[in-house]
Amino acid sequence: MIRNIIAALAMAAAIASPASAKTLTVGANIGNVPWEFQNEASETVGFEVELVREVAKRLGYDEVAFENIPFNGLFSAVQSGRIDAAVSSITITKKRLESVSFAQPYYDSDQSLSVLKASGIEGLKGLDGKTVGVDTGSTGDIWATEHQKEYGIADIRRFEGLSPAMLDLAAGRIDGYISDIPAVAYYIKDKPQYAVVERIKTGEQYSIMFAKDSPLAAEATKAIGELKADGFLSKLHETWFGSAPDASTSTATNAEMPKL
- Domains in the chain and their CATH numbers? 18-106+207-241 (3.40.190.10), 110-203 (3.40.190.10)
Q: Long-range contacts: 143-150, Cβ < 8 Å, 24+?
A: 143/111, 143/178, 143/200, 143/202, 144/178
In angstroms, the CA 143 to CA 196 distance is: 17
Predicted confidence (pLDDT) per residue in 62-119, tens digit: 999 999 999 999 999 999 999 999 999 999 999 999 999 999 999 999 999 999 999 9
> Three-state SS for 99?
coil
Q: How many other C-beta atoms are found inside a 10 Å radius of the C-beta of residue 82? A: 15
Position 161, amino acid: G
pLDDT at 6: 46
Per-residue pLDDT at 19 exceeds 90? no
pTM: 0.86
Q: Is residue 18 pLDDT above 70, yes or no? A: no
pLDDT for the residue numbered 1: 52
Q: How far apart are CA 147 and CA 153, in angstroms?
A: 8
With a cut of 70, say whether residue 14 has pLDDT above it: no
Binning pLDDT at 50, 70 and 90, where does residue 242 land? confident
pLDDT digits (tens, 9 = 90+) for 110-156: 999 999 999 999 999 999 999 999 999 999 999 999 999 999 999 99
User: Does residue 35 register a pLDDT over 70?
Assistant: yes
Rounded Cα distance, 227 and 246, in Å:
16
Positions of E strands within 35-169:
37-38, 44-45, 63-68, 85-87, 100-102, 107-116, 131-135, 155-159
- Cβ–Cβ < 8 Å for 132, 156: yes
